[in-house]
């Protein structure tokens, strides 16, 4: 898998022009959702190279549209508007847009070039970087997709000022994960960050450090055979929470699911491999104060367990976890039986106030 270029923008207009020039193309397409069409693209048309004409494809916003039907509509729009295998697609949006748009580009005519311009904190530090693309399918998160990196990822943190607190927090959960799998210093600055009174310049610097954590891991293991599994911390149980919420018609933001998954998987790390108890409590308290809780009852334990059995990281039907002995001390390919996981669910409901 080729390495993608990740650019922490200093001059967004110039950086975008240079990224487009590196991808010779016959036609240029821009994929947006209803929100980024309104709040981002309409304010950014003047930054395209003079004379560069593009055609916009607009899809519905939010993860409920990360579907096979939406994917087919993007393929259809590309086909009807004359896209060839030499065309270029720019994905301007959050993780849903970059995931789905990347998959659409990677499969249309066996693959066209694409550029990601993430507009949410979640997509900047996670979804747009690393080459994973895909859609939800059959009630499961990211069930269908391919590894296929963007030609470039342009990170312009000015877009973050258009986000509400919930969407900032959604991305911040992935940053918290990056802190846990990297260094105590990075984790400490994240836990000390004032989300209610955001210093956007400080946030920009932390975004750069967070992206660097993911880049280093992806470069070492692009297709998740080894250390890239570290990026799954919090996601095995988090994705189950997310799928349950979607099935019950109460969708939750991905980052909130990851945060609640971190609570569970840090506790699992504590009981399985000895993660420090006080540090676990410190991180959990931060999550409880900022993210609240996810409501479920003991009657839903079996359903959550069943959802976890479909996780892509599993092998031979055994649920696979990434756990931590300490910050940056990563334990891959860990397992837990059903009774242990039910104990984890009990712990979550007790400590998070259920």
Secondary structure (3-state) at 61: coil
Residue whose C-alpha is closest to residue 291's, from 269, 319, 261, 316: 261
Q: How many CB atoms lie within 10 A of CB 135?
A: 21
Catalytic residue selected from 116, 156, 167, 174? 174
Secondary structure (3-state) at 194: coil
Q: How many CB atoms lie within 10 A of CB 36?
A: 27
**5 catalytically annotated:** no
**254 catalytically annotated:** yes
Catalytic residue selected from 66, 177, 214, 313? 214
**39 catalytically annotated:** no
Catalytic residue selected from 37, 66, 132, 229? 132
**174 catalytically annotated:** yes
Catalytic residue selected from 186, 232, 272, 313? 232
Catalytic residue selected from 235, 242, 313, 320? 235
Catalytic residue selected from 110, 197, 225, 299? 110
**132 catalytically annotated:** yes
**232 catalytically annotated:** yes
**141 catalytically annotated:** no
**306 catalytically annotated:** no
Catalytic residue selected from 254, 265, 272, 313? 254
In sequence order, the 6+-apart residues with CB closer than 8 A to the CB of 333 are 229, 320
DSSP code string of 100-135: HHHHHHHHGGG--EEEEEE-SHHIIIIITSSSB--E
In sequence order, the 6+-apart residues with CB closer than 8 A to the CB of 102 are 91, 114, 116, 131, 132, 133, 148, 150
Catalytic residue selected from 224, 229, 242, 320? 224
**10 catalytically annotated:** no
Catalytic residue selected from 37, 177, 178, 228? 228
Which residues are identified as catalytic? 110, 132, 174, 214, 224, 228, 232, 235, 239, 254
């Amino acid at each position: 898998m080729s390495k993608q270029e990740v650019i922490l923008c200093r001059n967004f207009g110039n950086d975008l022009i240079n990224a487009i020039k590196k991808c010779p193309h016959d036609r240029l397409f821009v994929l947006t959702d209803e929100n980024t069409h309104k709040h981002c693209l309409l304010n950014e048309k003047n930054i395209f190279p003079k004379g560069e004409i593009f055609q916009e494809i607009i899809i519905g916003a939010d993860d409920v549209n990360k579907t096979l039907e939406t994917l087919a509509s993007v393929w259809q729009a590309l086909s009807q508007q004359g896209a060839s295998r030499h065309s270029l697609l720019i994905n301007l949006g959050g993780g849903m847009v970059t995931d789905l748009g990347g998959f659409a580009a990677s499969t249309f005519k066996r693959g066209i070039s694409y550029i990601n311009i993430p507009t949410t904190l979640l997509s900047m530090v996670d979804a747009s970087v690393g080459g994973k693309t895909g859609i939800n399918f059959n009630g499961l998160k990211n069930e269908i997709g391919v590894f296929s990196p963007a030609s470039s990822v342009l990170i312009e943190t000015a877009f973050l000022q258009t986000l509400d607190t919930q969407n900032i927090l959604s991305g911040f959960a992935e940053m918290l994960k990056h802190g846990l799998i990297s260094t105590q210093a990075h984790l400490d600055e994240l836990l000390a960050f004032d989300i209610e009174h955001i210093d956007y310049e400080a946030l920009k610097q932390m975004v750069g450090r967070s992206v660097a954590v993911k880049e280093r891991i992806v470069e070492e293991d692009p297709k998740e055979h080894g250390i890239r599994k570290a990026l799954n911390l919090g996601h095995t149980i988090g994705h189950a929470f997310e799928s349950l919420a979607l099935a019950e018609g109460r969708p939750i933001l991905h980052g909130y699911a990851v945060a609640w998954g971190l609570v569970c998987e840090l506790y699992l790390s504590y009981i399985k491999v000895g993660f420090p108890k006080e540090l676990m409590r410190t991180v959990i308290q931060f999550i409880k104060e900022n993210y609240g809780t996810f409501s479920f009852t003991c009657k839903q334990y079996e359903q959550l367990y069943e959802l976890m059995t479909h996780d892509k990281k599993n092998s031979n039907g055994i649920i696979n976890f990434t756990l931590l002995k300490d910050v940056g001390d990563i334990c891959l390919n860990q397992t837990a039986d059903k009774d242990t996981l039910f104990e984890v669910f009990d712990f979550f409901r007790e400590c998070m106030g259920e």
